[in-house]
Chains A and B, each alone.
Chain A
Amino acid sequence: MIHLLASIKQVPDTTNIRIDPETGSMIRKGVPAILNPYDAHAVAAAAEWKRKLDGKLTVITMGPPAAKEALQECIEMGADRAILISDRKFAGSDTLATSYVLAEAIRKIDQDDPVDLVFFGKQAIDGDTAQVGPGAAIRLGLPLITYAVEISEINVDEKYAVIVRKTESGKEIIQTSLPAALTAEKAIAEIPYAALPDLITSLKFIPEVWSADEPLAYDENQIGLSGSPTMVAKSGTPEAHEPAETISVAEQGLSGAVEIILGKMLSNSSVASLLEELK
């Protein structure tokens, strides 16, 4: 039976973030936490394939206790098992430490119940780093397909998958042996409406919780702040700019206003020479 695994993260909804203009820090109060959108699509794809192949889907997350809501959403989409890796000792983990925690967890799950394909989101929208997936994959020694937009085939018997990834110049069709890992673009699958049985399961959902000591004893030098090589030296809000000179159509009339702006634009030598080349 095929075993798929998705690694997901709960993130603040960055579209709703506000910054305290005095302190420059983020106002977390009232900012909803959501399942990272790319991860949601990754889970949707994983759920689709687990149904198609009659397999099993496990989801994991490292985060605070509240991250269980994000796992619950995955159960709604059809995940069979959900693990919350949560401990104060993990606080302050950067991408290197996070990839360690996740890779070790995946290794442990794999020992008891071999994993065939690991799904990550392309990136988490809070940091947009896109580092955790590649980091965890290399720790596990798995072939990695990033920016996956389609899974065309998973062959359980012959243990390979065909995955399409998107690059700047086009699409690459990659054949990989299994086990393997991918990072998902949104295009990989549509988010489905929850099926009724899954909804009912999710209502009774209680995650399995793993700490830094149980069932896995993490190396304390590789987690949290002490396991994170990067640190924030300072942070603030982006610089403000002076407003530009504006010309108003209401005041100058249409042709007058356009005459003024074209005149000003063309008095800029670099713009003028660019447009000159056209003629």
Chain B
Amino acid sequence: MTRRFWVFIEQNQGKMHPVAAELLGVANQLVSEIADELQASGEETSVEGILVGHNVTDIAQEAIQYGAQRIHKIDSPAFEHYLNRPYAEALTHLVKKYQPEVFLIGATTLGRDLAGAVATSLKTGLTADCTKLEMGHFRKIEKKLLLATRPAFGGNVIATIVCKDHLPQMATVRPRVFETPARNAKAEGEILEEEFEVKPEMMAAKLVEFIKDNNAQLNLEYADIIVSGGKGLGNPDGFKLIKELADELGGVVGSSRAAVDGGWIDYAHQVGQTGKHVRPKLYVACGISGAIQHKVGMQDSDYILAINTDPNAPIFEVATLGVVGDLYEVIPEMIKQLRAQKGASS
């Protein structure tokens, strides 16, 4: 029997959500971790993308380029817009048909809505918002299991969860927790057309209207440079200075939850456990203490510069470089020197 590792390929308005590529990378990694078992048993594996929507063949190709060997595609007008019931029933149907071993779903708004319903229909376990996934041994069980690690109790505890007697072993992962794998434009894979009939009772809820949010253009999760401000700004106006530095560096503005709770900036900017998970090339933390819930959302950044008046602030524990000083002095001086450098080189 083929050991199938499934990834839900989330798509919206003709675009694949980048978290799908990240999960395909994880699924391939998981498969490589059971290479020893495969050699012993002679079993095959396959990393497969599950794609539901309408006119989504291009997305199937894209998923193949990010590492899916096979795509199960349900392509029909009934799935043009996401709705919980029909999507959940369609995925449940596919799982029953193919019995995958592992099923990964992005912990996006859509993915969280879907995953809980699917896991419940299948009466299997689901671990939400995982920060680490690996195939490994648990107790004396012969076959490796999915070891799903996630924070709990506001990030104060890290727990590893297993689902030992039920299949598939399901997990959700937030965007940007894992890196995007390399895209191979020459990759080839199989696309299987699947059928699923949507019954009228599944359509009890309907989308009447969609109102686009312009703040959503921010795309904090995928920014290369983020300058974040926290409570240490002292007042909402401080974000003007943060924006100025962000513009100077060509980045976007992030924030801590304390600044969002204070009403200083919109939630869309929040970085952390209950905000966005980010991994920019450069993260500048200004007036942010570095509470555990903030750190878990930004510690994967390549380069972290922290500016804080308190030399003992925990943010310095995850920073690459720290400045002990007042942000209202340091930031304007940074902007001045950056401008001087630009002037000199152009």
Binding site for B on A (CB under 8 A): 12, 14-15, 17-19, 24, 26, 94-96, 99, 125-139, 141, 143-147, 162, 166-177, 180, 228-238, 240-250, 254-255, 257-259, 261-262, 264-265, 268, 270-271, 274-275, 277-279
Contacts and interface: CB of A to CB of B under 8 A. Distances in A.
B129 A170 contact: no
Given A246-B311, A274-B224, A143 B163 contact: no
A170 B268 CA distance: 11
Residue among B113, B201, B250 with most chain A CB within 10 A: B113
Contact of A24 (B125, B157, B292, B346): B157
A171 B210 CA distance: 6
Contacts of A19: 156-157
Contacts of B112: 130-131, 134, 146
Nearest to A142: B204
> Helix, strand, loop or mixed for chain A's interface?
mixed
Contacts of A130: 112, 116, 128
Nearest to A232: B159
Given A180-B205, A249-B325, A128 B128 contact: yes
Contacts of A162: 208
Instruction: Describe B's contact surface by its main secondary structure.
Output: mixed
Contacts of B323: 246-249, 257-258, 261
A254 B325 contact: yes
A180 B12 CA distance: 25
A128 B274 contact: yes
23 contacts: A12-B153, A17-B153, A18-B156, A26-B157, A126-B153, A131-B115, A132-B116, A141-B201, A144-B113, A146-B84, A168-B108, A233-B147, A233-B161, A235-B157, A241-B299, A244-B320, A249-B323, A258-B334, A262-B337, A265-B303, A274-B225, A278-B249, A279-B342
Interface stretch (B22-30, B94-102, B211-219): B211-219
Contacts of A230: 125-127, 161-163
Interface of B: 12, 84-85, 88, 108-110, 112-117, 119-121, 123-129, 138, 147, 151-166, 201, 204-213, 216, 224-225, 249-250, 273-274, 281-282, 292, 296, 299, 302-306, 311, 316-326, 329-330, 333-334, 337-338, 341-342, 345-346
A224 B250 CA distance: 52
A171 B213 contact: yes
A129 B116 CA distance: 9
A34 to B, nearest CB: 13
A255 B158 CA distance: 41
B256 to A, nearest CB: 14
Contact of B317 (A95, A144, A240): A240
B322 to A, nearest CB: 4
B250 A277 contact: yes
A175 B207 CA distance: 6
B206 A175 contact: yes
A75 to B, nearest CB: 28
Contacts of B250: 274-275, 277-278
Contact of A94 (B125, B320, B334): B125
A128 B120 CA distance: 17
A71 B149 CA distance: 33
Contact of B210 (A168, A170, A250, A268): A170
Contact of A254 (B159, B163, B333, B338): B333
A175 B322 contact: no
A166 B127 CA distance: 23
Interface centre among A139, A144, A262 (most CB of B within 10 A): A144
B146 to A, nearest CB: 11
Given A19-B157, A134-B117, A262-B337, A167 B110 contact: yes
Contact of A95 (B126, B207, B330): B126
B73 to A, nearest CB: 23
Nearest to A131: B116
B324 A247 contact: yes
A62 B31 CA distance: 39
B125 A147 contact: no
Q: Which of B138, B156, B329 has the most A CB atoms < 10 Å from its CB? A: B156
A209 B337 CA distance: 68
A265 B304 CA distance: 9
